[in-house]
Structure 1
Amino acid sequence: MSEPTGAPYAPPPGAYVLPPGYVPGAQYAPPPGYGAPAAYALPPSYGAPATRGSSVLGLVALWAALIAAVGTSIVGAVAGWSIGLGVGTEFATSPLDANFDWSILSPVRGWVLTGESAFWTGTVVGICAIVLGIAAIVKNQRRGAGIAAVIIAALGPIVFAVGVQVLIATGLAAGTSVAG
């Protein structure tokens, strides 16, 4: 390390030299004849927090999800019970092989159509509930209801499948025991 020589610091040749009297961070007055610059501000749409809109969208999504998940599952389960009860005897007496005879469902074709209609209605209404729920979340219109709608509508097919399968099996067991 070298010893200080006491000579003032001289910038290297070609370096930028600050103007005389420059004080870093100091505020300067505008030149005569010019006003102070207007402060830059963001438009209110950027700086303002998102306002809460109407609460209708989230509630519609939630009701649609409940209809899709719970309502159609109940209708499908009742149809499954009736199908199992109606074909229990034929199902129990027919051989179990690769060629299933679909004609045993003909006495309960009305219930089969009801179950299928419940399935497709739940599918369409559930998809609408998911879309409306996402829109409610994005637009901040009952965000909690929108989140609940998306979750309930996503779980709806599982609720439908479990409910229908359990009640078809229960109906088959009850239909088989009635005959035997």
Structure 2
Amino acid sequence: MSENPAPEQLPPPAAGPVPPVPPAPGFAPPQGFAPPQGYAPPQGYPAPQGYAPPQGYPAPQGYAPPQGYPAPQGYAPPQGYAPPGGQVAPAQGYGPYVPPAAPKAVAGASTLGVVAFVLALIAAVGASMIGGIAGYGIGAGTGRDIALQPTDLTFDWSILTPVREWVLTGELAFWGGTILGTWALVQGIIAIVRNRGRGWGIAAVIIAVLGPIVFATVVQVFVTAGFAAGATAGG
């Protein structure tokens, strides 16, 4: 008679989930093996080479991506984790894009602005002084004839014949001041844009713009003074 109990006499199996079987010591999955989607290695089990957790899935505790391998989206390194040498830890967060600041123009030599300032000064002051002297000569030489000329007639340009030298001088002063003033205005703007004597360039632009007004005012004052002097001298 057999000593083994009959099958119907064996105790029933225990109810509940079967505990996982730990891997054999020294076991490593083959190279290139990719676990099925949704698989996560148990705690303490090294992830196979080339394994990346699915998108949005938190990496298991103690897992670190291999060197040179980018961390998956949503992955946060565990507390106290330090990246291996040569690897930068992922940024904590991304802010709005801020474009780099434009490089400031380096100030160069101020020669360009200084030259523009000198040209504007010559155009405004020099041309106005020459024009004023010529205007006084024209007024003094024609004051008597203009005072005796009837007012109901058109202006007789032959009156300017005795003072034609002063008329020519006044024209040269006007056109010379116009050319130098335009030159100073353009060069002053270039000096401002290129930051090469910006202060001098700003002053040159202001003087060049006001130059024609100064010239016209000075010539008008001196011509009027010359007319008065000429009419008085002629009796």
Aligned counterpart, 1:77: 132
Q: Which amino acid aligns with 1:172?
A: F
* Structure 1 residues 88 and 36, CA gap change in structure 2 (3 angstroms): farther
After superposition, give the CA deviation of every residue in 1:81-121 in whole Å (9 maximum; x if it has no partner): 00000101101000123511000000000000000110000
* Structure 1 residues 30 and 97, CA gap change in structure 2 (3 angstroms): farther
Q: Name the CA distance, whole Å, in 2 between partners of 1:61 and 1:98.
A: 46
* Structure 1 residues 177 and 36, CA gap change in structure 2 (3 angstroms): farther
Aligned counterpart, 2:198: 143
Q: Percent identity of the aligned residues? A: 55
1:159 to 2:196 alignment: no
After superposition, give the CA deviation of every residue in 1:64-86 in whole Å (9 maximum; x if it has no partner): 00000000000000000000001
After superposition, give the CA deviation of every residue in 1:141-173 in whole Å (9 maximum; x if it has no partner): 110110000000000000000000000000000
Q: Which amino acid aligns with 1:170?
A: A
Q: Name the CA distance, whole Å, in 1 between partners of 2:68 and 2:209.
A: 62
**Deviation at residue 49 of structure 1 after TM alignment:** 2.2
Q: Which amino acid aligns with 2:57?
A: P
Q: Tell me the secondary structure at the aligned position of residue 96 of structure 1.
A: coil
After superposition, give the CA deviation of every residue in 1:10-36 in whole Å (9 maximum; x if it has no partner): xxxxxxxx61228xxxxx98517xx76
Aligned counterpart, 2:58: 21
The alignment's TM-score, normalised by the length of structure 1, stands at: 0.77
> Could you say what the CA RMSD is over the residues aligned between the two structures, in angstroms?
2.5
Q: Tell me the secondary structure at the aligned position of residue 210 of structure 2.
A: helix
1:123 to 2:160 alignment: no
> How many residue pairs are counted as aligned between the two chains?
151
Q: Name the CA distance, whole Å, in 1 between partners of 2:111 and 2:144.
A: 50
Aligned counterpart, 2:15: none
Aligned counterpart, 1:50: 105
Q: Tell me the secondary structure at the aligned position of residue 146 of structure 1.
A: helix
- More helix by percentage: 1
Q: Which amino acid aligns with 1:128?
A: W
Q: Name the CA distance, whole Å, in 2 between partners of 1:138 and 1:73.
A: 29
5+ residue gaps, structure 2: 1-54, 60-64, 71-85, 89-98
The alignment's TM-score, normalised by the length of structure 2, stands at: 0.60
- Segments of 4+ moved more than 4 angstroms: none
> Radius of gyration: which is bigger?
2
Q: Name the CA distance, whole Å, in 2 between partners of 1:136 and 1:98.
A: 52
Aligned counterpart, 1:15: none
